[in-house]
Structure 1
Amino acid sequence: MQQRRAHNRACRELSNLSDRELADLGIFRADIPSVVAGNRHLD
């Protein structure tokens, strides 16, 4: 349960970033769940 809350919190925090801020991190908005789950690595 605690792990799920951490996952949701991370998704929410990344979702609150602007598209520009996400681009600076190398993340597309649609990739947020995959990045948080660890299924997609940042370059």
Structure 2
Amino acid sequence: MANQLGKRLECKECGSEVLCTKAGEGTVQCCGVDMQLKKPVALPTAD
């Protein structure tokens, strides 16, 4: 999986988060396992 610019990744083991500032091939690892793409948080709409 290629890393995508602007995506946030999180470690399920320790809770660390990183922000991808340069796209590229490979994976980001923490605690010996690949970090997972963090789900976006839905923001409330202003009506």
- Give the TM-score category using the shorter length: under 0.3
Which has the greater radius of gyration?
A: 2
Q: Taking structure 1 as the reference length, what is the TM-score of the superposition?
A: 0.23
The structure with the largest strand share of the pair is 2
What is the TM-score normalised by the length of structure 2?
0.22
Higher relative contact order (CA 8 A, sep 6+): 2
- Say which structure is richer in helix: 1
